[in-house]
A and B are shown apart, each in its own frame.
Chain A
Amino acid sequence: MRTLGVLLRKELHATFTSPIAYVVSGVFLLVAGYTFSLSLFMSKVANLTYVFHQIYILLILLVPVITMRSFAEERKTDTLELLLTAPIREIWIVLAKFLGALALVVLLLLASTSFVAVLWLFGDPDLAPIGGGYLALLLLACLLAALGTLWSSLTENQVVAAAASLGTFLMLWFADSVAYILPAPIDLLFVNLSLIGHFAPFVSGSLFLSDVGYYLTGTLMALFLTARALADR
């Protein structure tokens, strides 16, 4: 655990001394704030359903930018050699990278809770779907950060890592659409792979263990594959 702490401090330092963190935060807060104001004034309803769907899209677009540098930059500058020849297990390196990326997303989600405060001050929001929505966004962020970290571990080119991550996220988003043209039972597989299919129930206030399991299993699998990719020498 001490090793994880040492590595995580370094990751957080790298994340927050990079302009990427500030550009991503600026874009996120601007677009989310704009969406919140617009939906509130248009609908005059105290809920965040529309905002959660907008943040879902923002995460799909922004997480590749956050994770692209994690391993790709270390490969490019050869500093990965310092980490891989140190007496530490690969899994600690992977977890530190993953948590370093996730920390920024969690901070952004925390900043977006100011929307809840506004609804609370001026209305009477139903807190169940709001709580469900934030849980869904957190689980989604875990899965996207893990997949982005995996892609970053496979290349030394940050643009390639970002493009491959974005492509994967979009494919997972639209996986259930492909199901319409596939025969049973393969269509079920694609329906169950869908990011949005496992996201929407949370936002409407329904919590299914299968949805939680989807995000957690995907996250753990991606982290395991990243550790394997590093261990393969």
Chain B
Amino acid sequence: MLPAPLAAPGHRVVEFENVTKRFGAFTAVRDVTLSVGSGEILGLLGPNGSGKTTLIRMLTGMHTPSEGRLRVAGFDTVRQPLEARRCIGYVPESHPLYDHMRVREFLPFMASLRGMDTKAVPAAVGEVVESLALAEVLSAPIRTLSRGYRQRVAIAQALVHRPSVLVLDEPTNGLDPRQIIETRNLVRGLAGRCTVLMSSHILTEIAQIVDRVAILLRGRLLTVRSMEETPDLEELFLSLA
């Protein structure tokens, strides 16, 4: 079972407030203000190097913002980092997994690491294994898994503790067409149950999955549009970029 339906649809769960990130003299993200509502799927769209991953890494606590504030479910990511991180499930771009573990060892490890009660772990693992169809590879060493299964295990580890926010960094990178469709369906299936923030540089992918799109270029947020009012995302992107 995936995260339970959220109580207050439309309530702001993720908030970026004038967020800037500098690495030395280089400014990766510049003065971004953005919010994501409860149960909403927001896409971060932009070319490589536009600041999508940096923005995501600040949200997940991997980087701290140089300026501005970020809140997740009301928790400040700098002042209350542990509380904020507890609300997030994160799938990094490279789908990192512990290759020396088996799937049945890795998922309980990640659930425990995210603070889940020991007694609740087996049921939670069973639920993500069922929803992501991982039963047949449960005993397999992770190093032997195909790319598609690795990606599913990466998503399972992000969902196992039932987060209210799921963050996906380029989730379909390197997948074959069938796996891309599966991922798309999975993320769409989370709509209304979990707030999803996903980055991509592929226009069609964003257009088919998200409720709203935020377009980034050279670290700046150019626009945020609802997909309903954006019939031609390609045209919009070209007009801005």
Query: What is the interface of chain A, defined by CB distance below 8 A to chain B?
Result: 2-3, 6-7, 9-10, 13-14, 17-18, 77-79, 81-89, 233
Smallest CB–CB gap between B207 and chain A, Å? 28
Bound complex: CA A73 to CA B110 (Å): 18
Please name all residues of chain B whose beta carbon is closer than 8 Å to the beta carbon of A14 when the two chains form the complex: 98, 100
Cβ B63 vs Cβ A6 within 8 A: no
Closest to B86 in A: A87
Chain B residue with the shortest CB-CB distance to A92: B113
- Are A79 and B96 touching (Cβ within 8 A)? yes
Chain A residues with Cβ under 8 A from B115's Cβ? Answer: 3, 87
Shortest C-beta distance, B55 to chain A (Å), equals 14
Determine, out of B5-13, B31-39, B87-95, B226-234, the stretch whose residues face the partner at the interface.
Answer: B87-95
Q: Which residue of B lies closest to A80 (CB)?
A: B96
Q: Does B97 contact A (CB under 8 A)?
A: yes
Separation of A161 and B230 alpha carbons in the complex (Å): 51
The digit string for B90-112, where 1 denotes a CB below 8 A from any CB of A, is: 10101011111100010001101
User: Are B82 and A17 touching (Cβ within 8 A)?
Assistant: no
21 A-B pairs with CB atoms under 8 Å apart are A2-B112, A6-B112, A6-B113, A13-B100, A13-B105, A14-B100, A17-B100, A18-B100, A77-B99, A78-B92, A79-B98, A82-B157, A84-B61, A84-B62, A85-B60, A85-B90, A86-B85, A87-B86, A87-B114, A233-B61, A233-B62
In the complex, what's the smallest C-beta–C-beta distance from B182 to chain A, in angstroms? 22
How near does chain B come to A116, taking the closest CB pair, in angstroms?
Answer: 35
Determine whether the beta carbon of A10 is less than 8 Å from that of B85. Answer: no
A46 CA / B61 CA spacing, docked (Å): 57
Whether the Cβ atoms of B83 and A82 lie closer than 8 Å is no
Q: Which residues of B contact A87 (CB under 8 A)?
A: 81-83, 85-86, 114-115
Query: Which A residues lie within 8 Å of B61 (CB)?
Result: 84-85, 233
The 7 closest A-B pairs by CB, nearest first: A78-B96, A87-B85, A85-B60, A87-B86, A87-B82, A79-B96, A6-B112
Contacts from B to A (Cβ < 8 Å): 60-64, 81-83, 85-86, 88, 90, 92, 94, 96-101, 105, 109-110, 112-115, 118, 157
Q: Say whether B96 contacts A86, CB under 8 Å.
A: no
Closest to A77 in B: B96
Q: Is the CB of A86 within 8 A of B100?
A: no
Q: Is the CB of A82 within 8 A of B82?
A: no
Residues of the A chain whose Cβ atoms lie less than 8 Å from the Cβ of B97: 79
Per the bound structure, the CA–CA distance linking A87 and B90 in Å amounts to 12
Please name all residues of chain A whose beta carbon is closer than 8 Å to the beta carbon of B64 when the two chains form the complex.
233
Q: Do A7 and B113 touch across chains, with their CB atoms under 8 A apart?
A: yes
User: Are A85 and B85 in touch, CB under 8 angstroms?
Assistant: yes
Contacting residues, chain A, for B112 (C-beta < 8 A)? 2, 6
Q: Assess whether A13 is in contact with B101, with CB atoms less than 8 Å apart.
A: yes
A233 proximity list for chain B (CB < 8 A): 61-64
- Nearest CB of A to B2, in Å: 20
Chain B residues contacting A79 (CB-CB under 8 Å) are 96-98
List, in ascending order, chain B residues with CB within 8 A of A83's CB.
113
Q: Which residues of B contact A77 (CB under 8 A)?
A: 96, 99
Chain B neighbourhood of A81, CB < 8 A = 62, 90, 92, 96
Interface centre among B62, B96, B105 (most CB of A within 10 A): B96
A12 to B37, CA, bound (A): 42
A88 in complex: contacting residue of B62, B82, B94, B105, CB < 8 Å: B82
Q: How far is the CA of A67 from the CA of B63 in the complex (A)?
A: 25
Residue of A nearest to B56 (CB): A85
**With A and B bound together, what is the CA distance between A85 and B165 in angstroms?**
13
Instruction: Give the residues in chain A near B118, CB-CB below 8 Å.
Output: 2
Minimum CB distance partner of B93 in chain A: A78
Q: Which residues of A contact B157 (CB under 8 A)?
A: 82
Given contacts A85-B60, A85-B85, A233-B64, A6 and B100 within 8 Å (CB-CB) = no
Docked Cα-Cα span, A85 to B96, in Å, equals 13
User: What is the bound-complex CA distance between A233 and B109, given in angstroms?
Assistant: 25
Considering the complex, give the chain A residue whose CB is closest to the CB of B101.
A13
Instruction: Provide the residues of chain B in CB contact with A3, threshold 8 Å.
Output: 113, 115
